[in-house]
Amino acid sequence: MKRRQFLRGGALAALAAPVAAPALADTAPELKWRLTSSFGKSLEVMQGTVQALCKFVAEATDNRFVIQPHLAGELAPGSQALDAVSSGSVECAFTPLAYYAAKDPILVFGSGIPFGLNERQQVAWWQFGGGKDAINGALQRLNVISMPAGVSGTQMGGWFRKELNTVEDLKGLRMRVVGMGGAILQRLGAVTYQMTYVDTLAALENGTLDSAEFVCPHDDERAGFVKFARFNYYPCWWESSGMLHMVVNLDQWNALPKPYQAILARACDAAMTYMRAKYDNLNPPALRKLVAAGAVMKPFPQPVLEACFKATGEHLAEIAGKSIHFKKLLDQVNGYRSDHLAWRQIAEQAYDGFLISATRGKA
Amino acid sequence: MKRRQFLRGGALAALAAPVAAPALADTAPELKWRLTSSFGKSLEVMQGTVQALCKFVAEATDNRFVIQPHLAGELAPGSQALDAVSSGSVECAFTPLAYYAAKDPILVFGSGIPFGLNERQQVAWWQFGGGKDAINGALQRLNVISMPAGVSGTQMGGWFRKELNTVEDLKGLRMRVVGMGGAILQRLGAVTYQMTYVDTLAALENGTLDSAEFVCPHDDERAGFVKFARFNYYPCWWESSGMLHMVVNLDQWNALPKPYQAILARACDAAMTYMRAKYDNLNPPALRKLVAAGAVMKPFPQPVLEACFKATGEHLAEIAGKSIHFKKLLDQVNGYRSDHLAWRQIAEQAYDGFLISATRGKA
């Protein structure tokens, strides 16, 4: 209705002057946004996901709503992408919410806590299990809204110069670990660092680091970790879903025409599937390359996993002791996980388990 | 550019006559499509997925592109949804491509073959592993194009009145099984039927069926299978990904403005995530309800799975013997599966496996 009135107005205006540039409809204005990513060029799948997301939005709006992606550091440091959006200096960001735990501890649930939900459970929890409301409720105070826009699935536990055989081996181990995984490994005696992957590679090479985690076989192979530390442990219990978010300034979001909000939301949904599928397509051949290059793929020993699981429970309980808000969500997510593992076990786990045994050595 | 020319034309036309109804822009015409679903009301998640998909399209186009969903039977029988789209009598459908194997055997790869890719692998294969081109290449001859628009993950293997202990127990077993699973179970002596779930429930009740598979705990619980057959076996090796497609008449697709094509494609991506998350949210509580109602959840015995795996290989080889086209794709998909299982084993399988053991009995 409004649109038709607008057109009539446009028709009259056209008699007097050339049609103005943004003259289509009030629901389809020309908009240019900037996106700040938490990732640089080295993580090409994350970067490809951001580019796909922006392309999806442009295609759906006939290039009327254009989001220009920027690498980490161009508009804001990777670890402060949300801050830039919160202050309004950039319209949106692609970032892991766990980076911002200092602003509100519950934001780690947006990315996933250690020993938390796997990728499928995390997506279900976000969409239908209360996740969206919990996280966006917390983000409202920061004047932003978020939508999942990427997910990796369970990542790798990192590269070790020596084999890790017992819980004792963690004592004094100098590790590069991101996020809450580091705090938990410290409880078991590890000395953990957060550093860029370039510094990490140098430190592994010169022996000032004993171990480093990065992402998945594809990224790890490209970065060249295997040259300096050949034992590659799994699974990454502190990054079990690897969910990333599109974070949008709330004023900008509210000012968007409803169709643009819908288009952006669906572009994020599609980007999430894109990222997972892209990684799933690249990781298996990368794994083969790594093994050919001398990588030794090893599961963390069961007692090590058990000690980490216990330390995680203690670490989370400590945070919960200081925040009832965090405690409530922790209890809810732990309940969700237990319920969902029962189903996982008789569906995907049973199916994959049989096929892994049936096809072993027959590739 | 075109749009601006159109607006100028519209401006002149407005002097002579009222603005015509579809007068916005050549890229945003008002369109009404009909969708025929292969599913009825009993499968509320599938139906909800179709409704979400149509809502996504309407929201993104400010209700200018409206797709009206219809249940199976309203416009076309559920098993002939693709035919209705192919002939052009309906613009689009939501349907499993495996239903149309008689038109081209490779269409079963669209849904997933028995002992085929799991949901994650299937999505990666579709998007980046050659799946999209292979299937849409085959569908072009039927004048349709398809996009994945739903996925369930591994389903349940069905309800049995008696325990299934050996491969011998399959001999003479009267089973309701859909799709290629039936043909394979016949090789092992089962007598299989395809029938509606209403007929299936009646046949289980009066004892003319020994076993019946349906979908997942949520649908199975609502249908009430547990009342007539309490042994619920897993996993459903013949429906391991449960991928469903949006099928669009190719002439209609080609006539769509590019932004509408993009909007529809992203709505399908989003619907796929929606359906999986919806099922993942509903299945765990349904599983608990089933167990409380007396269901006994049992894995198929390893020798039964092995016999079924072998029979599947023979069945697929027989089809491959008659079609080089099918053989090529079968070899490609089997290679993809092997490669991806190696990665699956050290990522999700290892992670979920540890958590299942660590949280057992602690729910």
- The amino acid at residue A154 is T
Which position has the token pair 């009327």?
Answer: A64
Residues A62, A177, single domain; the answer is: no
Q: Supply the pLDDT for residue A178.
A: 85
CA dist A264 and A269 (Å) reads 9
Count A/B contacts: CB-CB distance under 8 Å.
288
Same domain for B102 and B232, yes or no, is no
Judgement on whether residues B77 and B204 belong to the same structural domain of the protein: no
The answer to the question of residue A70 being in a domain is yes
The Cα B107–Cα B319 span in angstroms is 13
**Where are the strands (E) in A124-275, listed by range?**
144-151, 158-160, 174-176, 191-193, 211-212, 231-234, 243-249
Residue B86 in contact with residue B99, Cβ under 8 Å? no
Would you state the structure tokens that stand for residue A194, as one six-digit string?
Answer: 């957060």
* In a shared domain, residues B207 and B133: no
β-strand pairing of A231-234 with A158-160: antiparallel
CA angle A325, A328, A334 (to 5 degrees): 135
Q: Which residues of B touch A288 (CB under 8 A)?
A: 339, 342
Question: Same domain, yes or no, for B220 and B179?
Answer: yes
A337 neighbourhood in chain B, CB within 8 Å: 355, 359
Q: What pLDDT, on the 0 to 100 scale, is given for residue B362?
A: 59
Same domain, B131 and B179: no
What are the tokens at B300? 């198929």
A11 touches chain B (CB under 8 A): yes
Query: B43-88, pLDDT tens digit by residue?
Result: 999 999 999 999 999 999 999 999 999 999 999 999 999 999 999 9
CB of B59 closer than 8 Å to CB of A258: yes
| Pair B137, B256 in one domain | yes
Q: What is the least distance, in Å, from the CA of A77 to any CA of chain B?
A: 30
The residue among A252, A282, A312 that closes a domain is A282
Residue A189 domain-assigned? yes
Q: What is the per-residue pLDDT across A167-189, written as a single tens digit (0 to 9) for each?
A: 999 999 999 998 899 999 999 99
Cβ distance of A354 and B276 shorter than 8 Å: no
Q: Which of B41, B86, B116, B58 is nearest to B329 (CA)?
A: B116
Q: Give the three-state DSSP class for A146.
A: strand
Q: Which of A45, A296, A334, A348 to mutate to test the interface with B (most CBs of B within 10 A)?
A: A348
Q: Indicate whether B228 pLDDT > 60.
A: yes
Alpha carbon of residue A232 to chain centroid: 21
Residue B244, φ and ψ in degrees, nearest 5? -120, 155
Of A258, A345, A346, the CB nearest to B59: A258
- Who among B118, B277, B341 is closest to A127 (CB)? B277
Hey, how many other C-beta atoms are within 10 angstroms of the C-beta on A90?
Answer: 22
pLDDT at position B25: 56
Res B251 pLDDT > 70: yes
| Nearest Cα residue in chain B from A279 | B124
Query: By the CB < 8 Å criterion, does B287 face chain A?
Result: yes
Q: How far is A265 from chain B (nearest CA, A)?
A: 9
- Choosing from B219, B252, B282, the residue where a domain stops is B282
**The predicted structure's pLDDT at residue A362:** 59
Of B10, B339, B351, the CB nearest to A284: B339
Contacts of B3 in chain A (CB under 8 A): 24, 62
In a domain, A345, yes or no: no
Residue numbers of A between 36 and 75 with CB closer than 8 Å to B: 56, 59-62
Pick from A106, A122, A118, A126: which is nearest to A320 by CA? A106
- Can you give the CATH number for the domain in which B84 is found? 3.40.190.170
| Share of chain B residues as helix, strand and coil, in percent rounded to the nearest 5 | 55, 15, 30
Tokens in use for B180? 């290629």
DSSP letter string over A271-313?
Answer: HHHHHHHHHHHHHHHHHHHHHHTT-EEEEPPHHHHHHHHHHHH
Q: Which amino acid is it at B87? A: S
CB burial readout B285-324, b (16+ within 10 A) else e: ebbbebeeeebebbbbbeebbebbbebbbebbeebbeeee
Question: Nearest 10 degrees: CA dihedral of A101, A189, A219, B329?
Answer: -100
CATH classification at residue A233: 3.40.190.10
Separation between Cα atoms, residue A111 and residue A95, nearest integer Å: 10
> Does residue A222 lie in a domain region?
yes
- Residue B195: the pLDDT is 87
- The answer to whether the beta carbons of residues A356 and B353 sit under 8 Å apart is no
Per the structure, the complete domain to which residue B307 belongs is given by: 158-240+285-320
Q: Say if CB A45 and CB A279 are below 8 A apart.
A: yes
Structure tokens at B350: 């290892």
Residue A319: other Cβ atoms inside 10 A: 18
The ipTM assigned to this model is 0.92
Question: Which alpha helices (DSSP H) does A141-196 contain, by range?
Answer: 180-187
The answer to whether the CB of A340 falls within 8 A of the CB of B280 is yes
Question: How many CB atoms are closer than 10 A to CB A335?
Answer: 12
**pLDDT tens for each residue of chain A, 363 residues long:** 344 433 333 333 334 333 333 334 567 899 999 999 999 998 999 999 999 999 999 999 999 999 999 999 999 999 999 999 999 999 999 999 999 999 999 999 999 999 999 999 999 999 999 999 999 999 999 999 999 999 999 999 999 999 999 999 999 999 999 889 999 999 999 999 988 888 999 999 999 999 999 999 999 999 999 999 999 999 999 999 999 999 999 999 999 999 999 999 999 999 999 999 999 999 999 999 999 999 999 999 999 999 999 999 999 999 999 999 999 999 999 999 999 999 999 999 999 999 999 988 654
Residue B4 confidence (pLDDT) above 80: no
In a domain, B195, yes or no: yes
Selected residue with higher pLDDT from B210 and A13 = B210
pLDDT tops 70 at residue B39 = yes
Distance of CA B84 to the CA centre of its chain: 18
Three-class DSSP category at A228: coil
Altogether, the residues listed in chain A come to a count of: 363
Distance CA B91, CA B110 (A): 20
Tokens standing for A5?
Answer: 């009135």
User: What is the per-residue pLDDT for B7?
Assistant: 37
Which of A226, A260, A282 is at the close of a domain?
A: A282
The reply to whether A60 falls in a domain is yes
| Amino acid in the structure at residue B104 | D
**pLDDT tens for each residue of B151-179:** 999 999 999 999 999 999 999 999 999 88
**A88 and A183 share one domain:** no
CA torsion sign, B178 to B179 to B182 to B185? negative
State the Cα–Cα distance between residues A131 and A124, nearest whole angstrom: 9
The pLDDT value recorded for residue A26 is: 62
Overall domain count for chain A: 2
Q: Angle A131-140/A119-128 helices, nearest 10 degrees?
A: 70
Residues B96, B190, single domain; the answer is no
d(CA B205, CA A116): 42
Residue A322: both structure tokens together:
């200081």
B163 lies in a domain? yes
Q: Is A42 exposed, middle or buried, given 0-12, 13-18 or 19+ CB atoms closer than 10 A?
A: middle
Residues 6+ apart with CB under 8 A from B63: none
Q: What are the two backbone dihedrals, phi and then psi, of residue B43, each rounded to the nearest 5 degrees?
A: -100, 80
**Could you tell me the sign of the dihedral formed by the alpha carbons of A275, A278, A281, A285, in that order?**
negative
3-state helix, strand, coil in chain A (%, to 5): 55, 15, 30
Asked if the structure places residue A120 within a domain, the reply is yes
Nearest alpha carbon to residue A329 among A107, A144, A97: A107
Q: Does residue B193 sit in the same domain as residue B50?
A: no
Query: Which of A230, A215, A107, A213 has the alpha carbon at shortest distance from A163?
Result: A230
Residues A123 and A236 in one domain: no
Overall average pLDDT of the B206-219 stretch: 96
Supply φ then ψ for residue A35, to 5 degrees. -120, 130
Residues counted in chain B: 363
Structure tokens at A50: 């951001």
Q: State the average pLDDT for chain B.
A: 92
Interface test with A, best of B352, B356, B357, B359 (most A CBs within 10 A): B352
Residue with tokens 């590269």: A159
Whether the bond between B217 and the residue before it is cis, its omega within 30 degrees of 0, is no
Interatomic CA distance for residues A101 and A115, integer angstroms: 17
- pLDDT at residue A195, rounded to an integer: 87
Report d(CA A254, CA A250) in Å as an integer: 6
How far is it between the farthest Cα atoms of chain A?
Answer: 83
Tell me which residue in A19, A277, A297 faces B346 most closely, judged by beta carbons: A297
**A253 plus A122 within the same structural domain:** yes
